[in-house]
Amino acid sequence: MSTPQFILNILGNNQIENILTSLGIFAAAFLALKIFKTIIIQKLKSLSKKTETDIDDVFIQIIQSINWPFYLLISVFIAAQFIQLSARVEKIFGYIAILTVAYYLVRALQKLIEFSLEKLHKKEKGLDRTLINLINKLSSWLLWLIVIIIILQNFGFNVSTLLGGLGVAGIAIAFALQNVLADIFASFSIYLDRPFKIGDFIAIGEDSGTVEKIGLKSTRLKTLQGQELIISNKELTESRVQNYKRMKERRIVFVLGVAYETPSQKLKKIPKIVKDIFAEIKIVRLDRVHFKEFAPSSLNFEVVYFMQTADYQKYMNTQQKINFALKDVFEKEGIVIAYPTQTIYLNKST
């Protein structure tokens, strides 16, 4: 009885002793890899629990996700070194090896990307989950696309035509969804450039509020009046955004008006009065106090100072403290704070 042709193709010119040796090495290699998966990985898991970082947990998960086809492939590869395979068998084995390695490589990269995005989501509290999921899916599709193109190229296919077709399809899709894609890419721009983050108080034109959520298509602000303001990400990237949260100092200018009847001697005391008041407040830095102008109903002093914090609540509390102190001192000194008045002079002719 003759040996089937496909068996002859596999065996080739190998002696029975070589084939048996190869089978024994295959069994030993596969057994060693199974022991590695069951025993050594458990040891590594125990060690990883003692470390503060969690990146080692991810690598252990990647190793655990590798199943028997990969170990079988490695065992066959090791065993094949001890026999001679036909060109066809080597070619088929090469194709299987490329597909298997590519599959597990993409899965490993996907795990690392997912881990990085989860860390980002925990760090940037309030960052839209939809944006995280989209980045995860896009990166996954991109990885698979690159791997498929590389595999097809290794299999001898001409990928130039495929890439050309993908380019035309991409242009058509981008044209149909240009408005949506503009907002999506703007959200990426906001994330990469970081002009603001969750919790920052920003102003865009006449609108302002605290950033509550950076979404895939829009960003949501909570205004001082309490309502929610929704602005498209494209509009945000095209507008001038003022970020008050990043101010190291807040510059304040206010006008202090006193009555025209105030004597010059008392007017000259006002700069010193203001300086003495500011000397008692720790979080402010007085810049200047000047008798600025003769206004229609008051003599105006301009006061300029810096708050050494960007917190709006602290600014208002400090300004209130300054106002109370000025009122108290002015009452003691007999300086009258001006209010809108109009004086009419009548000239009685004879």
CA 151/CA 95 separation, integer angstroms: 9
Query: DSSP assignment of 224-258, as one string?
Result: TTS-EEEEEHHHHHHS-EEEGGG-S-EEEEEEEEE
Question: Which of 298 and 340 is assigned the larger pLDDT?
Answer: 298
Give the model's confidence band at 254: pLDDT under 50 very low, under 70 low, under 90 confident, else very high: very high
Contact call for residues 220 and 213 (beta carbons, < 8 A): yes
Mean pLDDT, the chain, rounded, equals 77
Is the domain spanning 187-245 CATH 2.30.30.60? The answer is yes
From the options 3.90.110.10, 3.40.50.920, 3.40.50.300, 3.30.70.100, give the CATH code of 250-333. Answer: 3.30.70.100
CA 123 to chain centre: 9
Residue (of 193, 185, 200, 201) closest to 233 by Cα position: 185
Give the model's confidence band at 333: pLDDT under 50 very low, under 70 low, under 90 confident, else very high: very high
Handedness of CA 35, 37, 42, 47 (dihedral sign): positive
Tens-digit pLDDT profile for residues 130-185: 666 667 777 777 777 777 777 777 666 666 665 555 555 555 554 544 565 677 67
Q: Where are the domains of the chain?
A: 5-156, 187-245, 250-333
Mean per-residue pLDDT, 323-327:
95
The confidence score (pLDDT) of residue 240 equals: 86
pTM over 0.75: no
3-state secondary structure of 54: coil
Question: Which of 303 and 58 is assigned the larger pLDDT?
Answer: 303
The confidence score (pLDDT) of residue 239 equals: 83
The confidence score (pLDDT) of residue 272 equals: 94
The two three-digit tokens of residue 173, written as one number: 């899709």
Tens-digit pLDDT profile for residues 173-191: 545 445 656 776 777 777 7
Tens-digit pLDDT profile for residues 212-236: 888 777 888 998 888 899 888 888 8
Do 250-333 and 187-245 fall under one CATH topology?
Answer: no
Question: Which of 301 and 33 is assigned the larger pLDDT?
Answer: 301
Mean per-residue pLDDT, 260-280:
93
Residue (of 152, 225, 214, 222) closest to 184 by Cα position: 214
The confidence score (pLDDT) of residue 139 equals: 77
Tens-digit pLDDT profile for residues 72-116: 777 777 777 777 766 777 677 777 777 777 777 888 887 877 777
